[in-house]
Amino acid sequence: MMHAPSRTAKIAGIAALAGLMMAVAIVAATHHRAPTAPPAAIVRDEAGPSRLARELERCASLTMPDSGCEAAWAENRRRFFRQGEPEGAGR
């Protein structure tokens, strides 16, 4: 027949758990993280945004369907997925 753990065993278990938690907290507080690289800057052309970029910016503010916007989004998707280019182009 098993007996319940004694009061001393319970105190020892809780002390061990508290010590482990304290050790983890100290390691986390003193751990030096490597500095992260700053995000890459977006460089725009000197001449300003392209026609497609201007059209997409305009379309982003519209709430009604627009055929010009649909064409601009289709062109953007085509350029993004490089559809219609020869296999070696752009690489």
Q: Is 10 exposed, middle or buried (0-12, 13-18, 19+ CB in 10 A)?
A: exposed
**What are 19-34's pLDDT values in tens digits?**
999 999 999 888 877 7
The Cα–Cα gap between 46 and 48 comes to: 5
pLDDT at 85: 58
pTM for this structure? 0.37
91 pLDDT more than 50: no
**What are 33-81's pLDDT values in tens digits?**
776 666 665 555 555 458 888 888 888 888 888 888 888 888 888 888 8
